[in-house]
Structure 1
Amino acid sequence: MLRGVLFGLGLLSGTMLSQSAFAEAARTLQIIVSKDKQSMVVYDGDKVVATSKVSTGKAGHTTPSGIFSILEKRKYHESNIYSNAPMPFMQRLTWSGIALHEGQVPNYPASHGCVRIPSSFAQTLFQMTERGVHVVISDAPVEPVPIEHANLFTPLKPLPTAPLLSDVDLRPTAMKRKPAGPVEVAMNSAGAGQDPMTTGSLEAVVPENAAPLRILIQRRGARETMLDVQALLTELGFDTGTPDGLAGPMTRAAIAGFKRWKALPDDGPLLGKEFLAALYHSAGQKEAPLGQIMVRQNFEPLFEAPVGIKDPEIALGTHFFTADHIERNAETAEWHTVTLPNALSAEEMKQFGIETPADPSRPGAAAAALDRIEIPTDIRERIATLMSNGTSLTITDQGLGPETGKGTDFVTLTRTQPNPAQAQDSIAKPRPARRSQNASTYRSIGLY
């Protein structure tokens, strides 16, 4: 209710409310753009906050579809590709150049890839959002719907910040005989009337203004397999260098050493099936899980770990979930979801061993995907401890795309055809994603 009031007043005047008030409300916003309808709808949960017409990319400069977030905001910006064309109230979605910005909106696709917004609405939207607000771009219109599922994360209740009965003198007693009535236990009067198990605070761990988590669950690819290889070889005494998912000289030397140890052939693929089976067996582990969970916060990698995927021969599809109304003491949260069409190529299906494609029109498709994900308890608890309003989860078969990199949330590109032409940007020349030089590890799994 409060957020609705804030945004309603904001539509009337951008100067009536403090920026901090809008920032708190903005984190649960979700912007959905339909290329078919040339429309934009701003949601808070499943409530419509604002609507507008837009103009997306014309033929040859198609606006990419997918799940994005606002990376940068500038009241005035000029294109460095298209003759310094003015782009007021620019809100960047990718570092390669897609953005929302003020421009001509002729009721049909006319941009060079960006999403143009009418002048009357661009400034209002700019004031409503902050960095990190999600933007979903699809062909046909989609809308968030409420979802409840046991596999969705819920916040953990605060723990006490001090030992129970910390200043109560405990005196030994001898019970001479069975008491005739109830036994009273002295408690610290300072906490009278409070539940000692819920009087603590997570403020030191989760500040009130903590940035929401960005969570991605994907199928494991070559990078995740190499991370496993590096971790297992290190446990067996081989030096692979810093685990980074890359086949560098030290990693290649360690792999060659293991093959000599196990009398495995050194020709053929670097990570062949025989090599992987021998490595996991030597480390006393089963075959690697098929999925990976990755967590970011403030546009930076936080941690990642393997997860299981049931029925791996069936595609998961692409589903986007957002959390709102988090009540930590009650350990509850409200989730909404959007399912997006996302066609896999024949090569991708072969790579992941997928035999049955996803059906985004199937009722309950998002819940069916959640049913198949197996998340370790310690990972679930860590996320539950850190999550805040606006936390999001993306489930997809495809891995990290080319737009996910340094200074981004997870950018998931989707497509209705297996091999569409890639759209060119209209803001900046492509900037390759860069890996953080200070990437650390969590549970022997390297950051991306």
Structure 2
Amino acid sequence: MTDQFVIKRPTFDPATGRARFAYGLEGLDFVETLDLPLGADAVAAGSPNFKKLLDLTAIVLGVSYFKLKAPFAIAAPDIALNAAERAFATDVYENGLGEFYARNDLQRFDRLTITAPHDDAERQPAIALPDRTLLPIGGGKDSLVSVDLLTHTGVAFTPFAVNPKGPILTSVDKIGTPPVYVTRTLDPEMIRLSQAPGFYNGHVPSTAINSMIAALCALLYGYSQIVLSNERSASEGNVEFDGRQTNHQYSKSLGFELLIADILSGATGGTLKYFSLLRPYSEARIASLFTHETKFDRVFSSCNRNFRLTGNDGPLWCGECPKCHFVFLIFAPFMAKDRLLAIFGKDLLDNPAHESSFRELAGLAGQKPWECVGEILEAAACLYTLTRHADWHEAAVVRAIKTDLLVQYGEPKLQAAMAECLTDSHDHHVPPALAAKVAAYAV
């Protein structure tokens, strides 16, 4: 058993817009900073609500440093937590790091301890926030579909991003609305150690991290709701490990959405709302909605391989990773072939070298990739649809997979799955009035 991970009390300077987060781990000290826009509301910055959110943000950002050694003990001696906040912190460090534990073969579920003073207050007093919307933009298809839905239902919004680069910048430029940007600077020593012998590295719950940063901005600059763009398939996990289903997209899941929404509500006295506008939709349904608008075709990207911490390392789409393959696959049934080929620059379904990747996506081999991809049956249903599509039935991958696809699932199941993908779910957290307006538009 290793030493404890220490989360220190964060600080924020309204004059400079800088927040500092300090951590300790086995004699090592780390400091991370957030540089927020100037012009923060001074009253909000001094409120107990903001202080509470800043403390909770320190806990969530800490996962990047904790994972270097992944000790069993976590201590936040100067951060008081009520019962719900303690459960939230535990969830972030357990399920939020589920993929990290699975890929490093570390058993931590139900074994972590979090030591922090007890906060008797179950809820902070209400804080007044203007009726405005903050919309995180990731540069991919999902948040841009949210842009279209909000625009056509008359909901004004402000784009938001942390460390914007590549397709985020080009997408926001096309949106044409002034954004709120935050610069997050990780401790360089943590980055160095993550590649050094004797230290662990791996996936962290980035949506949870960015959501907490967005919540800080919501209070400082006056927004009453944060609208995410997470689809229903984000709730499907990857593999069973240490007695639990681990999920690459855990912090995008409905379960986590409800958990963090409750925490943000408690910290603001019920004022700040948090929900995903796309939760009713499958990835395929989102792809069909994306086809309604063409202005983002040459600026968006859902490929993670070419967009790392260093920025844009290549073209918008690498064409080789599971994410590229999945996005190409779900667009194919709904988008004109020439338009899809213009976006990707090549036909990813007509390359025999890609067959194994598409087999994994459709559940015909291996496991679901550790990527933000849709449900296995959804991918299988889209491939089945392409076997009957005039533009795609002769593509090399489609022809190679067709027989095995039908043997494994059967035609009736694949037909039903495709129909289900295009049927909106009622299992979501979208406010009823907005949900009704979106449903009326997204037909």
TM-score range, shorter chain: under 0.3
Higher relative contact order (CA 8 A, sep 6+): 1
Structure with a larger share of its residues in strand: 1
Structure with a larger share of its residues in helix: 2
